[in-house]
Structure 1
């Protein structure tokens, strides 16, 4: 479901290639070749409203883009990645949907599912498409996380579908929660990390938001472990709570345990 403007380049390439081939082979005259090329460009740009198809069954999902199918088992999916951003051309806003294949997200984005126009407040624009609502519903039924649940629930409500399920409870890995020494062993120095992270008011609004929350929570935890004062503890607990809230889970006990486990996983994927 890519925006048509993003397919304009493909359409013009096809147009020129078609025109060159027809003129070069002498099949038709130059004017006729030009008209055929225009039809090809228009077909690439307007004929198909969707650039992909997504089918779900009991085993997983099949994503078909440019007639090439890719199969993903449910066990390999970690949810839906959702990012808001400005259009490449124009002043509008877009929601980009991707399959999330890693937990936490790595640097390589998952397969693109589509792009949808949204309001300046990052809420659904007009009546959301039925396809997008059904996509949220399928992931909700599978209890796979959707990164922007408020947006998804608004879409589901407009289309008369059930809301996403309640928050899941986070369970520590079988080997136990990593100790702070292990979780932060390869982390940058505290001062270097503090300088690298933007201030609270300048934090990423969309892309990179989870990474920011995770790194900030880990940094606050490390500051408390170094200083040990009550204010540092309050800041660390608050930062951990914000990460847990963003991930839409419930953590029983000290939420910093979740931060340490997630930070260790993130550092493994992003050395």
Structure 2
């Protein structure tokens, strides 16, 4: 799933390089060098789609990039990450798709599996690629979550494929979600945690994004519990919603309950 304009350099660069070598070494005149260079560029452009190949089957997802083959079994995939991004060079809106892997844990975004052009409103541009819709369908059939489900369902609808299943609903443990006193019992000082998160914001990578969102949501919850004002509550609720959206689940009621449970689990694992 590459955009056609992305393939232009694949053909132009070999063409120019071949022509320059032939002319520079006097192996051919200008016209012959142009013809040979054009043929080389066309061959490279024709082969380009085969350097980016994606296939989903009953066992998992196979990705081939730059002739390197990687295989990801369904058991090791947590879902499909989707990010709308505006490219500075071309000023166009694109959708970037990545696998969300189960290992290492934390619902991290894994390898790039596709990039397609979308409208400025982050909706499908024209008819969505059939391959992308089939990828959404493969995830839906296995109950794996897909980010931006609205976009995915529109692509599925256009190609006559069934919509994605609803997101799973988070269920609190049988004893209930932990109270704040238990969830944050050994949490670092609020000022220290705030400084640590602020200092690492510019260095955050995709692999630690989930941890950052969790710590930020827990910190916002703790600030509200300490101060008790309306603004702090709003910040805490927004931070909790960001974590829930990232985890691709549905939480009924106060989403801060989910934050407290996840923070307690995270602290337990990282002691």
TM-score (norm 1): 0.73
Report the counterpart of residue 112 of structure 2 in structure 1: 112
> How many residues align structurally?
255
Report the alpha carbon displacement of residue 98 of structure 1 after superposing the two structures with TM: 1.3
Report the counterpart of residue 86 of structure 1 in structure 2: 86
Structure 1 pair 59–140 and aligned structure 2 pair: CA distance change class (3 A): same
Report the counterpart of residue 69 of structure 2 in structure 1: 69
Report the counterpart of residue 195 of structure 2 in structure 1: 192
Secondary structure of the structure 2 residue equivalent to 1:111: strand
Structure 1 pair 64–192 and aligned structure 2 pair: CA distance change class (3 A): same
Counterpart-to-counterpart distance in 2, 1:215 and 1:241: 13
Secondary structure of the structure 2 residue equivalent to 1:156: helix
Report the alpha carbon displacement of residue 66 of structure 1 after superposing the two structures with TM: 2.4
Secondary structure of the structure 1 residue equivalent to 2:78: coil
Structure 1 pair 187–150 and aligned structure 2 pair: CA distance change class (3 A): farther
Checking the alignment, whether the CA contact within 8 Å between 1:78 and 1:101 is kept in structure 2 is: yes
Report the alpha carbon displacement of residue 222 of structure 1 after superposing the two structures with TM: 1.9
Deviation string 1:128-166 (CA, Å, 9 cap, x unpaired) is: 111111111111111112111111111111111111101
Report the counterpart of residue 157 of structure 1 in structure 2: 157
Secondary structure of the structure 2 residue equivalent to 1:251: coil
Q: CA RMSD in A?
A: 4.1
Checking the alignment, whether the CA contact within 8 Å between 1:220 and 1:235 is kept in structure 2 is: yes
Checking the alignment, whether the CA contact within 8 Å between 1:99 and 1:113 is kept in structure 2 is: yes
Secondary structure of the structure 1 residue equivalent to 2:85: strand
Report the alpha carbon displacement of residue 60 of structure 1 after superposing the two structures with TM: 1.1
User: Which ranges of structure 2 fall in alignment gaps of 5 or more residues?
Assistant: 202-207
Counterpart-to-counterpart distance in 2, 1:161 and 1:19: 48
Counterpart-to-counterpart distance in 1, 2:248 and 2:107: 15
Secondary structure of the structure 1 residue equivalent to 2:82: strand
Report the counterpart of residue 101 of structure 2 in structure 1: 101
Which is worse superposed, 128-137 or 244-253? Answer: 244-253
Checking the alignment, whether the CA contact within 8 Å between 2:54 and 2:64 is kept in structure 1 is: yes
Report the alpha carbon displacement of residue 9 of structure 1 after superposing the two structures with TM: 3.8
Report the alpha carbon displacement of residue 78 of structure 1 after superposing the two structures with TM: 1.6
Report the counterpart of residue 201 of structure 1 in structure 2: none
TM-score (norm 2): 0.73
Secondary structure of the structure 1 residue equivalent to 2:132: helix
Deviation string 1:18-39 (CA, Å, 9 cap, x unpaired) is: 3466568877555323322122
Checking the alignment, whether the CA contact within 8 Å between 1:190 and 1:219 is kept in structure 2 is: yes
Secondary structure of the structure 2 residue equivalent to 1:165: coil
